[in-house]
Amino acid sequence: MVLNPVISKLSGKLVVLASSSPRRLEILRNAGLRFEVVPSWFKETLDKGLFKAPHEYAVETAKQKALEVARRMTIKHLKTPDVVIGADTIVTVNGMILEKPVDKQDAYRMLSSLSGKEHSVFTGVAIVLCHDKDNDEVDYQLIDFYEETKVKFAELSEDMLWEYINSGEPMDKAGGYGIQALGGMLVEYVHGDFLNVVGFPLNHFCKQLGVIYNHCSFFTPDTTETVNLSVSDSLSTSILSQQKESSKNIPRPKSPSSSPLHKVKKTSNKSEAKVSSLFEDDDRETISPMLRSKDGAMHDDRGPKKEDLELINKLIDGFKASKALFTASKYCLFDLLHTKPGLDAEQVSQEIKASVKGTETLLEACVSLGLIKTKDTTECPKPVFENTDLATRLLRSDANFSLHAYIQHCNDKIWPLFTHLESAVKEGTSQREKVKKFKEISQDSLCSSEEATLRFMHAMHSSAKIAATAVAAAFDLSKYKTACDVGGCTGAVSYELIKIHPELTVTVLDLPSVVEKSEPFQQHTEERVTFKSGDFLTDELPKADLYILVRILHDLTDEKLHILLRKISDACTPGCGLLLSEIFLDENRSGPSRGLLQALSMSEGKQRSAAEYSRLLKRHGFLTAQVKYTDNLLDAMLCIKA
């Protein structure tokens, strides 16, 4: 194997890949490297305009990924890795950097710009060498490089573009294509390292290891002057090397005098480092990959794959993560750290009136989930905590797009339902009555029905506000002048619709008890949204050109659903529109879906795919014009009355 000459140098060392890319994992595993995977939390939000050349951006991103993992493992995981590998791949054309597309339109833009042209694929790689010192500090040495490969696309027809985009392959790949899969059909030629385009320049990486562990004679650097850098030298110098070089040259590391020292204080003694991981494939395949049972059947004895165990562990621990978020939200932890950032665990415990041990455990769990972060200060020997950007934007109760109320709704109403999931599956019915009786017995329900309704409205408003922009902007609705938001609750979607469509006026129709309590949510300066009390199943619907159903149909029995659709159909003239927004299931119900999990609550209604909704609406005279998968909380469909 290619890495054999340096594998012995890495034996007994903890090697970590700061990436969850399946393509990088496969390339390095096939090369024989044994490593653990710790995905980086570094947010790839560097300003591309600050870099003179595209490869500098890729290299800097790779460096930040690797350093973040190296520091986090030292501080939070109580062990120091020996080697951390970070990488970032970008595609560039005409000086523009193309990363992963955000949606199908973005993928179309990227692939169109590559059609018939030669472009460059850069992968920046960073190798961080970590060394424990006697004073409980850690020294880091950073070696970075990049590789460039030229790729030429054929001229792509519209049909070819959309067929490839609709395959789903472009969505998680830099530049919107995967050369190792279907995307290979788009490519005329490749000049350079093919694996670099896949996601990792293996040959160049091996040469760099040969330079670091220079006693390995297998690799000879392309430069005429060999760099002598032994393992002991590299670790003792504690240099942070800023190496930028061409794809053909191996750089000379800078001298210690010109490189800054990089250290971090440890919070605990280093635990024993192990290269072999529970998740890694071992060498049993070469000895006895298959065992024969008593019945004569052959069974695979190679052990579970890492990705399989990661998935199962994620599912097993999912409820713990949810409850950690719910509890932090219940204690208004994110509000506290917004108003008073930089508190330590003891200070937080005093503020939320909880035990120091419990508070510290909750804080550390939230750090591991990426909800809050620690900040080391010279003034305070203890770690202090502050919100991440995610918590500031979504988890504060007063944030513009806060999910705080919805999270509390999930904790108070949805969580108890799912604790009775075994009974729900056995009986095929909702467990709401069982939960309600339990709360009455335990005196856990202290709020009035009016307060409960208001809490529910706050929850629905917070989630609807998140989805509203994507739903409102999904289609061109300029031909419609009047709309009726059926069951529109607080009007979150309606207010977003009139922002995007200035000629539209909307009537929000909901039950009298809901409209009465919607006052705090109404924007009284906006006259183009009005509220009307009524039951959409029994009362006459307001006349409109466009009827809006957001998260309504999935919760109705078949009987109620057809009553409502019949009423809307009767109120419509040919050309009227119906804007439907729901969670659209995959057609084969095999993909991950919040809708399928939500269906486990055993409500009266049913979760459906876009095709199922189309067939349902067609029975009432509506033809599907467009379907939009928004990558937000809700998808959307526009139908026209025939």
Residues involved in catalysis? 88
Cα Dmax for the chain: 87
Contacts (Cβ under 8 Å, ≥6 apart) of 452: none
> Is-contact 229 211, C-beta < 8 A?
yes
Helix (H, G, I), strand (E, B) or coil at 392: helix
Q: Which two tokens stand for residue 630?
A: 């928004």
Look up residue 160 and give its DSSP letter.
H
Question: Which of 631, 507, 487 shows the shortest CA–CA distance to 564?
Answer: 487
CA distance 416 to 451: 19
Question: Which of 519, 586, 576 shows the shortest CA–CA distance to 547?
Answer: 576
Order of strands, sheet of 372-375, starting from the edge strand that comes earlier in the sequence = 343-344, 384-387, 372-375
> Is-contact 595 584, C-beta < 8 A?
yes
Helix (H, G, I), strand (E, B) or coil at 83: strand
- How wide is the angle at C-alpha 456 spanned by C-alphas 451 and 461, nearest 5°? 125
Task: Give start and end residues of each alpha helix (H) in 395-541.
Answer: 404-409, 415-418, 421-427, 432-441, 449-472, 492-500, 512-517
Question: Which of 542, 397, 525, 416 shows the shortest CA–CA distance to 461?
Answer: 397
Helices 492-500 and 449-472 pack at an angle, to 10 degrees, of: 20
CA distance 633 to 453: 22
Residue linked to tokens 């809490």: 455
> What length does the chain have?
642
Name the pairing type of β-strands 187-191 and 137-153.
antiparallel
CA distance 296 to 301: 15
CA distance 132 to 27: 29
Question: Which of 344, 487, 319, 286 shows the shortest CA–CA distance to 411?
Answer: 319
Residue linked to tokens 């409502």: 564
How many other β-carbons are positioned within 10 Å of the β-carbon of residue 327? 16
Question: Which of 99, 107, 71, 81 shows the shortest CA–CA distance to 16?
Answer: 81
How many other β-carbons are positioned within 10 Å of the β-carbon of residue 252? 17
DSSP strand E in 222-294: where?
A: 263-265, 290-292
Helix (H, G, I), strand (E, B) or coil at 299: strand
Residue linked to tokens 């095709």: 611
Task: Give start and end residues of each alpha helix (H) in 481-621.
Answer: 492-500, 512-517, 558-571, 594-598, 610-618
CA distance 611 to 627: 10
> Is residue 33 packed enough to be buried (19+ CB in 10 Å), middle (13-18) or exposed (0-12)?
buried
Q: Which two tokens stand for residue 470?
A: 């994507």
